[in-house]
Amino acid sequence: MRTLLPILFLVGCVPSDPTDAPDQTAQDIAEYDELATKLGKRATTFLGKEADELQAAGKRIYWLQYASFDPTVHSSLGGARIDYAFPAGTEGNVRVSDQLVVTAHRQGDVVYYRAYDAAYANTLRAEISLPAPGDEQRWWAYCVDKGMVYIVTTGAQTTVYRWSPGAQPAVELVLEEHGVDVGIFLDLAVYQGRMLFIESGRLWTLDLATKTAKWVGNKKEISGAVSTNGLGILYVAADGPHYFENGMTRDVKDEIEKTGYRLNETFASMHHYASEGVLYRGTVVYKGQAGMFAYDLRTKTVAPLLLEPRRSDLRIVFIDPQITDETGTLYVTGLESTSGSVGADGSVYALPLSQEP
């Protein structure tokens, strides 16, 4: 399950007048509780504590379950659940699209990539094998875009393979031949003809049609999720989330703090960026100091989505936002604890992004 650093309870600004402070603070707390209750009514419990490592792809949401050491793979589309009969890959690795579920299994000096039909419990479309990495990697980095799989091998050169299950893998390009001096290749994703990849902490974008690569210019190493809406790229670095589009980078954390949004004096900073972030169309959904919030990149406004309840018997901390692109449903995990610390697991909640609270 998850291992998280402690997250401090929210401490707001208390008015300086000791006569007014108790009454005003009580009113502020009541206003927070009222909003938390109102927002909470929009959320439904989607899964219990058994779910882990959520991945959204198109209209489908995937997750793993660790009933034993080897996790099982599951998904849901429009409420129709599929419990896949095939195992996850080595160390639980799985890459998905709305069409495919792909795993990588290392056996000795060989890595087997298996592509399954996402709509069925156990329909293997195709399998290929590649010589395993000779360094500390367990398998070659890979990703899925609709019905296509991309695999990257490293060594003397960094080769990107394109694999359509049922055919043989074909070389898409060699990164060094297109102006990329690769250090340590870490991960990749492909969306609408654009390849995003991370090497040595740097984030690159590459047009697969023109084979033109561009470093986005991040000043801090990538430390979190990278997502795109087809136009811009949201990436989480060590200094927070940034939005890159048309050669320009915006400091999303700084913009959020400058919006002027304020529930009240006691909870003045509850919407400030704390961690995580995912891009949905023109909106950044992120974990704030007291729950999940949405930041509109066009209007530069903040809206609360789900506030962490103030309860003495149970603490719930919302993490890991995942959004099904076409349906606009937000899934978050609420880590639960009765001791006041951050819990290790909790239920998964679902709520629509398209409706106002």
CA-CA distance, 279 to 298, in Å (whole number)? 13
Residue 169: both structure tokens together: 């893998």
Domain ranges, ordered by start, for the chain: 17-47+257-357
- Average pLDDT of the chain to the nearest whole number: 92
Strand order in the sheet with 222-228: 222-228, 233-237, 240-245, 248-251
Dump pLDDT digits (tens) for 228-254.
998 999 999 999 999 999 999 999 999
Strand order in the sheet with 329-337: 44-47, 346-352, 329-337, 315-324
pLDDT of residue 82: 98
3-state secondary structure of 297: coil
pLDDT of residue 21: 56
CA-CA distance, 80 to 78, in Å (whole number)? 6
Dump pLDDT digits (tens) for 264-305.
999 999 999 999 999 999 999 999 999 999 999 999 999 999
Give 178's DSSP letter: G
Please indicate, yes or no, whether the overall pTM of this predicted structure exceeds 0.85. Answer: yes
CA-CA distance, 67 to 270, in Å (whole number)? 36
When pLDDT is averaged across residues 190-198 and rounded to a whole number, the result is 96
When pLDDT is averaged across residues 56-71 and rounded to a whole number, the result is 92
Contact 133, 140 (CB under 8 A): yes
3-state secondary structure of 325: coil
When pLDDT is averaged across residues 95-105 and rounded to a whole number, the result is 97
Give 314's DSSP letter: -
CA-CA distance, 176 to 156, in Å (whole number)? 10
Give 71's DSSP letter: P
| pLDDT over 80 at 327, yes or no | no
| pLDDT over 90 at 15, yes or no | no
When pLDDT is averaged across residues 135-149 and rounded to a whole number, the result is 95
Contact 245, 231 (CB under 8 A): yes
